[in-house]
Structure formats: C-alpha cells, structure tokens
Amino acid sequence: MRNFRLTVPVLLCLFALSCATHRPPVKTPTTPLRPPGKPVVTTEVRAVWVSETTKLDWDTATRELQRTGFNTMYVNLASAGAALYPSSQTLPSVAGKFIGDPVARGIELAHRRRIAVQAKMVVMFSFRSPPEFQRKLLKSDRVMRGADGKPIVQSGSFWVCPTQPANREAALAEVKEILRRYPVDGVQFDYIRFNEEPSCFCKNCREDFEHALGKPVRHWPGDVLNGELRKRFNDWRQSVINDWAKQLSATVRQARPGIRITAAVFPALERAREEKAQDWKFWLDHGYVDAICPMNYTTDARDFEERCRNVLKFAPRDHVVMGLAEWKFQRPEDLRRQVDLCRQLGLAGFALFSYDDATERHFLPAMELH
Ligand SMILES: [Zn+2]
C-alpha cells in the first residue's frame, strides 16, 4: 500500500508531462503483471458478482471496473453440475465455443488492471447444468430430496445432496481443477447449505443420521421433521455442512496456500442455522473462511442497517464484505448510501449483485468510488 501511495503522484506527474508534450493514442493499460502465484492484495474490497460468466466481455468489464474504482470480481466458474469454462475434465463445460480460454485471458486482463478475481463455486446447486447431466444426477440418486422424497428443483435444475460421496468428490475435483488451471486470487463458496425447503431426506442422509444417532428413526421423516428428533436432525445437518466447508477449505488451502476463501451467506445467523444449516459463524471461528459476504438484499435503509449490525454481533467487521442488492435499486445514489454505511461501520468492503445488471443499467460510473 505504501508503494502504491508513493507511485501515484509520480505516475500523475509523468502523465501530466506526457500530455503537455504529445497526445498518445488511447490504448490498453500496460501495467506489468504481478509475479505469478502472488495474490492481488486489496485494501477495501469493492467487489461485483458476475453471474453470466460465459457471456462476460472481460476486456470491457475489467476496464470499466478499474475506471470506476472496483477492485474485485467474484466470478461464477462452477456449479454442482457445470463448469463455466472450457474443456473441464470433471464436469460438463457450458462455456460455449471460443478459441482458446476466455477465462484465462480474462483473469490476466483483470490482473493487469489490478483487479482481484475470486472463483465462485455454486456448491450444492447444479446451476446451468445441461439436461443430460441432470438426468445422470437423478439416475444415480445424487439429488437433494424434500420430506416428500421428491428431488428439490430450482429453475429447472436439481440441488445435490451434501452427504453423498460422489457429490463431494465432484466438487473437490472441480475446485482442484480451477486452482490448477487459473491464477485466481481466491475462491468463494455459494449455495453451501441445504435448501430452504426442509431437506435432505434421501436414503444416504437417513443412513448417516441414524448412524450418528446410534439407532434407527422409528417414524421417518415425521420424527425429524416435527417430532422429538427435530433438533438433533438440524444439529446433524449443521455438522454436515460445517464438515463440508472444512473439507473444501482445506482442499483450497492445500492447493494454493495464501489465497482468500469467502462464502456468500444469509445475513440472519439464527435463521441461516435453523432453515439452511448454514452456520457461518462456525466457519469464521474455525478459519474455514477468511470473510463472509452476507447477502443483505434490501433497499430499505433501516432494514439494511439492522441486518449489518446483527451480522456484526457474530462476525469481526474486517471479515465482512457486505453483499448489496444493486438490481433492486432504481437510483444509484440510494445504493451509494449503503456503500457509505459499510464504510462508516468499518467493514472489509462491499459487493454488488451483480455486474451483469449494473453494467446494463449504467450504475457503475454513478457509484463514484474513487
Ligand atoms: Zn441427502
């Protein structure tokens, strides 16, 4: 940071001198690449989520983000049923037809412009998975199931069960492939939880729970759904997700020591624990993640502040990158007030969902982050 502060005035002087003598044509900034393997270090995290990675114009995006003062991209690279980059050896690639690897080129451009890139993984949801792979998930009984025994489906795609070894192995192979292939500055886990509908009631979960309980459940699923084993079942569900977060985190840290690990989470901790078995405080306390990104998706100023303060009861402020619902705002200045509050509260930073929407509605320049 000190070097950065020293070099900025020097660069400004050089720029002024060059303008005074001649006007060079506008061209891509040629900031040298940072040394390989060394993560881009940011102070305040000013992030955007990128959902539609396969449609992303990396050159335009990184140029615009740099110009408007953003420094981090959370880029969706994989789900439980798809790789959003070409030629994956572990999951079906849905990257489309490109020459070369647009993600590799994009990350290089981002780094040239001093923008950190975190690979986002949609852990338990098979977002963008092709139909043939969806059928495979169903046929091999790897899907998450509700209390009625039916697969849980969102927007036509299955959720997968976190206790099944095949699902875990697929996710671990995926994250290893991403880290082997791309010099990302971090990994973000999203959808690392059970579905909001009571779940999972698959055969494997029943067996695992009964094993942990030490005896069979007499009335399945009634006893665990609303009966005497309800709390035991939810404690077990939390232990499943905690263990999964631990395993994913250890895999990332072993593959690429020093890079950031974050998780997109629900801001209300008690509800997150109860409804989705998502105990993000446990993950922070045990160092599985370096920061959380609570999805504080509201336009109401009071609700937003209340949720921020609730998060801060359980998480250190410098471990919180607050997620803002850019797509819900009509005016950038109202969104900007949430950024100001994040700064007043001393948070690690903020993240807009999403770049895709913000750029379409020209919100980024209006944020005036510099
Ligand atoms: Zn299950």
Q: What is the mean pLDDT of residues 116-144?
A: 97
Residue 266 has pLDDT above 70, yes or no: yes
- pLDDT category, 27, cuts 50, 70, 90? very low
Domain that holds residue 321: 40-367
Residue found by looking up tokens 């950038």 in the block: 332
Gap from CA of 178 to ligand 1 centroid (Å): 26
pLDDT in tens, 169-219: 999 999 999 999 999 999 999 999 999 999 999 999 999 999 999 999 999
Provide the token pair at 366. 């209006």
Q: How many domains does the chain have?
A: 1
Q: Is 349 domain-assigned?
A: yes
Q: Is 10 domain-assigned?
A: no
Residue 28 has pLDDT above 70, yes or no: no
Average pLDDT, the chain: 91
Q: Is 190 domain-assigned?
A: yes
Find all residues with CB under 8 Å of 183, minimum gap 6, and list them. Answer: 36, 37, 107, 111
- pLDDT category, 35, cuts 50, 70, 90? low
Whole-number Å distance between alpha carbons of 235 and 247: 18
pLDDT at 38: 57
Find all residues with CB under 8 Å of 273, minimum gap 6, and list them. Answer: 234, 238, 279
Closest residue by Cα to residue 181 from 264, 117, 273, 130: 117
Gap from CA of 52 to ligand 1 centroid (Å): 29
Q: How many whole angstroms from its chain centre is CA 196?
A: 18
Residue 121 has pLDDT above 50, yes or no: yes
Cα torsion 54, 55, 57, 61: sign: negative
Residue 26 has pLDDT above 80, yes or no: no
Whole-number Å distance between alpha carbons of 254 and 251: 5
Gap from CA of 142 to ligand 1 centroid (Å): 8
CATH number at residue 192: 3.20.20.80
Are the C-beta atoms of residues 22 and 325 closer than 8 Å to each other?
Answer: no
Gap from CA of 53 to ligand 1 centroid (Å): 29
Q: Is 45 domain-assigned?
A: yes
Gap from CA of 151 to ligand 1 centroid (Å): 10
Closest residue by Cα to residue 205 from 159, 246, 155, 259: 159
pLDDT at 37: 54
Residue 1 has pLDDT above 60, yes or no: no
Gap from CA of 227 to ligand 1 centroid (Å): 19
Q: Is 20 domain-assigned?
A: no
pLDDT in tens, 155-169: 999 999 999 999 999
Overall size of the chain counted in residues: 370
Pairing, β 321-324 against β 349-352? parallel
Gap from CA of 193 to ligand 1 centroid (Å): 12
pLDDT in tens, 278-303: 999 999 999 999 999 999 999 999 99
Choose the weakest-confidence range: 80-84, 96-100, 243-247, 343-347: 96-100
Residue found by looking up tokens 């049923």 in the block: 81
Look up the pTM and report it.
0.88
pLDDT at 329: 97
Gap from CA of 199 to ligand 1 centroid (Å): 7
Q: How many whole angstroms from its chain centre is CA 180?
A: 19
- pLDDT category, 244, cuts 50, 70, 90? very high
- pLDDT category, 126, cuts 50, 70, 90? very high
Residue 239 has pLDDT above 70, yes or no: yes
Q: Which of 132 and 52 is assigned the larger pLDDT?
A: 132
pLDDT in tens, 341-362: 999 999 999 999 999 999 999 9
Whole-number Å distance between alpha carbons of 75 and 313: 29
Q: Is 244 domain-assigned?
A: yes
Q: Is 266 domain-assigned?
A: yes
Gap from CA of 258 to ligand 1 centroid (Å): 33
pLDDT at 262: 98
Q: Is 28 domain-assigned?
A: no
